[in-house]
């Protein structure tokens, strides 16, 4: 496990390299409030290939949350380019972007975002409901996803009947159920104890070993070190190595 040095994300790939899932080229994001401008991203170049496991680290205010929103198609760049699976995100309609978020990106958040009134099974089924998948197929796929994360015996449990680690596993199953291009995890262990953290990170290890692309946003070095590579973000830029973080 090692930190990414600036430029190394794009370099050192010979012929026959994997297909890029993520490509950011001179990515910039500026927020404006009246006459005040704040440049949250200041020219980031980043590439993540299929099957990679990348952790993005940075202190509060570094730009990592803005970067997460861009990668998740929750926000758009002011300038530069973002290609997701080869598609230029700037050229996609709002309807297509919504489909991209639902079908190609599996989100895992710190707060779980499970509906308290629904069972584990129903929570995991939700993305498939929005995608128009039939009842029988979505049930089968949700059961398979929950079984994959070790919760095949918790299908009927509501979030209040599960531990924090189990709730996050339900959230991971929900992210997996649509067979997305990548898993985008934003501080996924922030609300977990050390045992649950190890369990969830072990699950990410297994998913990556099986070929799943994972991008993890975190401020914890011990969490980031589980990834194959670490990108450090400071002042809206990719920093040049671990010492810069």
Q: Tell me the pTM.
A: 0.84
CA–CA gap between residue 91 and residue 121 (Å, rounded): 35
> Can you give the residue ranges of every domain in the chain?
51-76+87-244
User: What share of the chain in percent tops pLDDT 70?
Assistant: 91
Q: Is the pLDDT of residue 11 over 50?
A: no
In the chain, the DSSP E strands lie at 2-3, 20-33, 36-49, 53-57, 79-84, 87-88, 105-109, 182-186, 213-218, 229-234, 237-238
Structure tokens at 209: 């070993």
Using one digit for the tens of pLDDT, what is the confidence trace for 98-122? Answer: 888 888 899 998 888 999 999 999 9
Using one digit for the tens of pLDDT, what is the confidence trace for 25-71? Answer: 999 999 998 889 999 999 999 999 999 999 999 888 888 889 999 99
**CATH code for the domain defined by 51-76+87-244:** 3.40.50.300
């Amino acid at each position: 496990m090692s930190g990414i040095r600036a430029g190394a994300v794009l370099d050192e790939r010979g012929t026959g390299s994997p297909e890029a899932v993520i490509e950011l080229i001179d990515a910039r994001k500026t927020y404006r409030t009246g006459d005040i401008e704040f440049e949250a991203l200041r020219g980031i170049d980043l590439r993540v290939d299929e099957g990679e496991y990348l952790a993005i680290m940075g202190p509060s205010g570094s730009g990592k949350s803005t970067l997460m929103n861009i990668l998740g198609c929750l926000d758009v760049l002011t300038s530069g380019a973002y290609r997701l699976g080869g598609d230029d995100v700037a050229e996609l309609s709002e309807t297509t972007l919504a489909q991209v978020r639902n079908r190609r990106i599996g989100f895992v958040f710190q707060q779980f975002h499970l509906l308290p009134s629904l069972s584990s099974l129903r929570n995991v089924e939700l993305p498939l409901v929005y995608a128009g998948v039939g009842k029988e197929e979505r049930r089968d796929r949700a059961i398979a996803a929950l079984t994959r994360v070790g919760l095949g015996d918790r299908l009927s449990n509501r979030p209040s009947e599960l531990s924090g680690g189990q709730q996050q596993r339900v959230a991971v199953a929900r992210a997996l159920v649509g067979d997305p291009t990548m898993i985008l995890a934003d501080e996924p262990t922030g609300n977990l104890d050390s045992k649950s953290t190890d369990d969830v990170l072990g699950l990410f290890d297994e998913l990556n070993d099986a070929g799943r692309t994972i991008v993890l946003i975190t401020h914890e070095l011990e969490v980031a070190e589980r990834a194959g590579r670490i990108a450090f973000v400071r002042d809206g830029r990719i920093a040049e190595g671990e010492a810069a973080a």
